[in-house]
Amino acid sequence: VRSLWDDHDARAFASDPLALRVYTSRLIGQDPSLVLHGGGNTSVKAKAPDLFGDVHDAVWVKGSGWDLASIERAGFAPLRLDVVRRMADLHSLTDARMVEMLRAALLDPNAPNPSVEAILHAVIPFAFVDHTHADAVVTITNTPKGVERIGEIYGNRIFIVPYVMPGFILAKEVYGMTKDIDWAEVEGIILLNHGVFTFGDDARTSYERMIQVVTEAEDYLGTHAALAADDEDGADAVTIRDDDLVELARIRRAVAKSAGTPLIAALDSSPLHVAFSLRGDAGKIAARGPLTPDHVIRTKRTAFVVGKDLDAGIERYAKDYRAYFDRNREGDITALDPAPRWVVWPGRGTIALGRTLVDATIARDIVAHTVPAIARAELLGGWQALPEDDVFDVEYWDLEQAKLKRAPAPAEHAGRVAIVTGAASGIGRATVEAFLKAGACVAALDIAGEVLSLWEDARVAAFVCDVTDATALDYAIENAVRRFGGIDAVVSNAGTFPMSARIAELKDDVWRKSLAVNLDAHRLLLQKTIRFLEAGLEPAVVFIASKNVPAPGKGAAAYSVAKAGLTQLARVAALELAPAGIRVNVLHPNDVFDTAIWTPEVIAARAREYGLSVEAYKTKNLLGREVTSADVARLAVALTGRLFAVTTGAQIPVDGGNDRVV
């Protein structure tokens, strides 16, 4: 690591301690080797007024739920320093009571809940305090001679604290151990198997002490446990073949089945992870525990290693997890699902899983730091994580159990992956939006380049794709699976509406293009996604056909015939794919005027033909209501969900009621 301190930037905050605290907190948060996804915490002590204007000594501590990389002033909770310090003198304190007392000590009732390390920050007698879970330091402490090595690196400059549970217990331990020390001779505290505290009476000192402590640990690892693959990290070490992607989808399905909920899967096939996956002892060392105990919330205590019998292996993992729970449980606590959250896939790398893309990404990033840490620790005498009971205490911490009870129910399609074609406009775009609202990840395909810039949402993988091009489809489908782990729903929507022409005047190229886009491309998409749908979670396909199937119009032979063929394709697919649990249904929209084919000029011309106003023309159905892309999209998404879980082979009109169809 290196110092990111900039005198020019810092000068702007020189007279404002909290602004300086925000500045250096963000410097720390920018480096994932120090903290990951909300990890770590920082504080500053200064004067602050209460609601009556009375000034108190205060400590601002990072609030729960805030990330150091992007924290703002509002992310720090101001507490009365004397009250928080007195809490360290208490003989005992439950986690729930600690949270209550910290909230009672707030000088701002609208502030977030303070970090559980607030008491520890208060008892450290310096203005600025920084706490990280630096990879290099924790790697060294997670070895048989970790304490000796820390002493070798830092001498007496660093105070060493054996691992204890975070929160009040840790604060009480440090408070008792440091009562008689000369703080002027101490530059930091290392909490074994947990992390690092540094401090100073100015922001720069505390921050740069952190950088120095971590740099010395990194230098030690560079000398004693260098990894040759480090400088290649991120490059492809293996070629992930088509069959591998299908296997990835199967692994995702097996883990999700064990979890009892859909999951997103993120693959890491970089050289370091592939090398780790090929180790003969990978299963053994990945079962020793996480890099730091707080990671268990995201990754579970151990990894799952893929073997010859995937389902049997997952079943064994679940059985072992339940036994781990039974061995360590105390009191009335709720067991978490028994499925793994990271997987070692021999010869292919590692897989991280989560109920949402955010969860999977956090797990992937933690695994990305855990793998090199394990490899380096093995070079230092062996990876030695905390005993399982300590890890269990964090996984089933009262505060984490309370979060579970408060958590809202997941969105219906959370953890699921959909493909939508014709996604840049009209029904396709509305369907992408509806899937996102329902919690899904989406591969959005369209021939128009604008599809790439429509969504600033990591849950959307957008591809410029001509759906009649088999190679382009392969690329989009395979990369969607690489990114999300599988495919669960397909909404085959892309189409074209040729110029009206009676059969006598119908040109060959118009006929062929309509068949190519409105029929052949749908068959091609289905063929290429079947193998992934077979490994999908509650898999479903929705074809967007047309009212012209049950009620064709003159001059629309090319369109009507293609859509009729598409409908027949869907009926046969429903018959063929039902044994694999894949549902196939059809929607027949009509007069959806907010799509690209219905320009204002076309609508006005058609209204004149009927002798109607534009508004009357748009609502010329039995219900007298305009049909929108969003109407079609909501039903398309619903057809892939639980509401229609036992429906396949259905054809549903979305037309406001048409007297020719009814």
Share of the chain above pLDDT 70, in %: 98
573: three-class secondary structure by DSSP? helix
User: Please, which pLDDT band fits residue 230 given cuts at 50, 70 and 90?
Assistant: very low
The mean pLDDT of the chain is 94
Select from 367, 354, 369 the least CA-distant residue to 484: 354
- Residue 569 tokens, joined: 């394709």
Burial environment of residue 32 by CB neighbours within 10 A (0 to 12, 13 to 18, 19 or more): middle
Q: Helix 17-29 crosses helix 203-224 at what angle (to 10 degrees)?
A: 20
Residue type present at position 370? T
Query: How much is the pLDDT for 324?
Result: 97
- Residue 576 tokens, joined: 């063929």
Query: How much is the pLDDT for 499?
Result: 83
For the stretch 18-31, pLDDT in tens is 999 999 999 999 99
8 A C-beta contact, residue 625 and residue 562: no
- Residue 344 tokens, joined: 């070692």
Query: How much is the pLDDT for 551?
Result: 94
Query: How much is the pLDDT for 566?
Result: 98
8 A C-beta contact, residue 639 and residue 587: yes
Q: Can you give the C-alpha Rg of the chain in angstroms?
A: 30
Rounded to whole angstroms, how far apart are CA atoms 577 and 567? 15
Rounded to whole angstroms, how far apart are CA atoms 645 and 581? 10
Share of the chain above pLDDT 90, in %: 88
CA 101 to chain CA centroid, nearest Å = 33
User: Please, which pLDDT band fits residue 135 given cuts at 50, 70 and 90?
Assistant: very high
Residues recorded for the chain: 662
- Residue 348 tokens, joined: 């292919």
User: Please, which pLDDT band fits residue 237 given cuts at 50, 70 and 90?
Assistant: low
Query: How much is the pLDDT for 233?
Result: 44
For the stretch 259-295, pLDDT in tens is 999 999 999 999 999 999 999 999 999 999 999 999 9
For the stretch 474-505, pLDDT in tens is 999 999 999 999 999 999 999 998 888 999 99
**What are the residues whose beta carbons fall under 8 Å from the beta carbon of 9, sequence distance 6 or more?**
23
Query: How much is the pLDDT for 442?
Result: 98
**What are the residues whose beta carbons fall under 8 Å from the beta carbon of 387, sequence distance 6 or more?**
289
Active site residues: 559
Query: How much is the pLDDT for 597?
Result: 77
User: Please, which pLDDT band fits residue 228 given cuts at 50, 70 and 90?
Assistant: low
Rounded to whole angstroms, how far apart are CA atoms 441 and 457? 9
For the stretch 397-445, pLDDT in tens is 988 777 777 778 889 999 999 999 999 999 999 999 999 999 999 999 9
CA dist list (Å): 431 to 385, 452, 494: 46, 16, 12
Higher pLDDT, 394 or 401: 394
